[in-house]
Chain A
Amino acid sequence: MNVMTNLVAFDVTRIRDDFPILKQTIRGKPLVFLDSAASAQKPRVVIDAMVQAMETQYANVHRGLYWMSERTTEAYEAARDATAALMNANNRSEIVFTGNSTGAINLLAHSYGRGVLRPGQAVVISGMEHHSNIVPWQMLRDAHGIELRVAPVTDAGELDMDAFAALLEDGKVGLVAITHMSNVLGTITPAERIVKIAHAHGAKVMFDGSQAIVHRKIDVQALDCDFYVWTGHKLYGPTGIGVMWGRKELLERMPPFMGGGDMISSVSYEKSTWAAVPHKFEAGTPAILEGIGLKAAIDYVQTIGYGAMAAHEASLTEHALARLAGVDGVRVLGQAQDRGGVISFTLDKAHSHDVATLLDRQGIAVRAGHHCAEPLMRRFDLDSTARASFGVYTTHAEIDALVDGLVRVREFFQ
């Protein structure tokens, strides 16, 4: 099986040259970074874009009438255009910038949850959500009388679609908020089917695309969903900037979440009026440099192309699953039909913390723990797993290094 020969246009060696950090050695060994699902490394173009902005054209945005501020505003707002194009949003004003996915989901839970949903209605999440797509809805439940329903996950690590549909039967569900790709199992959820079922029962749909957008081309119009959130730092961009896309008519119905500068139309002590969307959701000085960095990251992935990235990652995932299957005592969590480059596993003789520590000694960075998904861990009767996740710069040789490392760890605990 030599999948790489099919990927003529995709040269991972050249890609790796774009990421300065990957040239580092850790404890004298080349860095094998397999924790991109937590946060991805940054290409030179992102670093340069942010540094250049600070060195040549930095001022606050949306305010100054002078040349420098206008230039900065233009560069920052270009990120909104790039984001709209990336997701195939209908309109640039449907792109709301937040701090991260967590910020986006909290915005939605506050604004849509308290402003549009009515007490007695329900929100459906799934059994494979990140804490950031659980806790804001719990807070909404407790503060606003919203029922929280959880669609179960099958043993294979897929969404139980029959059970999901059953949760919507009574017509009480106002919003479905579900991951588009599990950060633990790598499972890609059947977004189109979820939307069809939800819409048929009068519910809106939000996808947490924090992982999915790294691995798949996201077209919000084709998905026909209502909200889609993700974060810049997993897509090779900077930390501190996230995205909430929402249908314009829904965003317009939603009250602001945070008050302050930049989100108003006019302010008096008696009454303030709000700016138009998306600005009414963007109080305060935004993450200007991060927006500029995000634009560079989006341009970067668009240049490589989702087709090439997805093919590379599919090949890596297939290789990793095949090789891990050959290591005694390794159990991979979930066998979803449709999955991306995130693999959680356990080793029979060692705690995942020990696995991660001993792999680290070999220069291999994996995540160990509950991955901010404690309910999902409990679903599989586990406290923690080790997780390897892949990015555009991951190589087949790095996966081989992981497997060799695991064999050493297992020998260690014999």
Chain B
Amino acid sequence: MTDPFVQPEEPTAAAAIAAISEDLSLFDDWMERYEFIIGMGRKLPPFPDEWSNDAHRVPGCQSRVWMEAILRDGKLYFAGQSDAAIVSGLVALLMRVYSGRPPAEILATDPVFLKDLGLLEALSTNRGNGIAAMARKVREVAMLQAG
């Protein structure tokens, strides 16, 4: 089985955010931006079918998002997927930032970058958006590991 957990491309979460920001800046048309985001989602490692269940479900209203996490050598790795293409892309961006990082680094990285990059209108208030819930879940998992 291919490793379902996302391997980091950049050395740090901050570098990943900078890289995403640069990627997105290449597009001035929102359609192209979304095409890029959806493409990111399609490149996620395959999410195991047996994890696509309620136990792995991130509570959200409009689309379904599933995730799993694992601790390897003091670093947290995440796997995730959504049934919606754009949300899957946002999951991929989130994982690119957070997966393969030590819990302390995860906690030090504010998910506000999703908003700063224009990927989400609001992080905390929109219960409809599974991605905001996932960002919270990532922090919860990190907090648990950080003790």
Contact = CB atoms under 8 A, between A and B. Distances in A.
Interface string B77-120: 00000111111000000000000000000000000000000000
B146 interface: no
Interface in A21-42: none
B35 A351 contact: no
Given A361-B30, A412-B34, A412-B35, A354 B61 contact: no
Contact of A350 (B30, B35, B62, B85): B85
B80 to A, nearest CB: 15
B34 A384 contact: no
A370 B63 contact: no
B139 interface: no
A98 interface: no
Give the size range of A's interface with the partner: 10 to 19
B48 interface: no
Contact of B61 (A351, A370, A408, A412): A370
Give the size range of B's interface with the partner: 10 to 19
Contacts of B128: 368-369
B34 A353 contact: no
A210 B18 CA distance: 47
B85 A383 contact: no
B55 interface: no
A413 interface: yes
A369 B64 contact: no
A383 B64 contact: yes
B62 A353 contact: yes
A1 B76 CA distance: 61
A351 B65 CA distance: 13
Contacts of B86: 353-354, 357-358
Given A361-B34, A412-B31, A412-B34, A354 B62 contact: no
Interface string A315-354: 0000000000000000000000000000000000011111
A357 B62 CA distance: 11
Nearest to B87: A353
A383 B82 CA distance: 13
A168 interface: no
Contact of A351 (B30, B31, B85): B85
A109 interface: no
Interface string A368-383: 1110000000000001
Given A351-B83, A351-B84, A369-B128, A358 B34 contact: yes
Contact of B85 (A354, A368, A384, A408): A354
B87 to A, nearest CB: 6
Contacts of A370: 61
A288 interface: no
A361 B82 CA distance: 20
Q: Which of A352, A357, A413 has the most CB of B within 10 A?
A: A357
A353 B63 contact: yes
B62 A368 contact: yes
B51 to A, nearest CB: 17
A361 B118 CA distance: 11
Interface string B110-136: 000000000000000000100000000
A225 interface: no
Contacts of B87: 351, 353-354
Interface in A284-311: none
Nearest to B33: A361
A369 B128 CA distance: 8
A356 interface: yes
Nearest to B31: A412
A37 to B, nearest CB: 15
Contacts of B83: 351, 383
A358 B86 CA distance: 9
Interface string B53-68: 0000000011110000
Query: Nearest 4 pairs between A and B by C-beta?
Result: A351-B84, A353-B84, A353-B63, A369-B62
Interface of A: 350-354, 356-358, 361, 368-370, 383-384, 408, 412-413
15 contacts: A351-B83, A351-B85, A352-B84, A354-B85, A354-B86, A358-B34, A358-B86, A361-B30, A361-B31, A368-B62, A369-B128, A383-B64, A384-B62, A408-B31, A412-B35
Given A352-B84, A353-B62, A357-B34, 10 more contacts: A350-B85, A351-B63, A353-B82, A353-B87, A356-B62, A361-B30, A361-B31, A408-B31, A412-B31, A412-B35
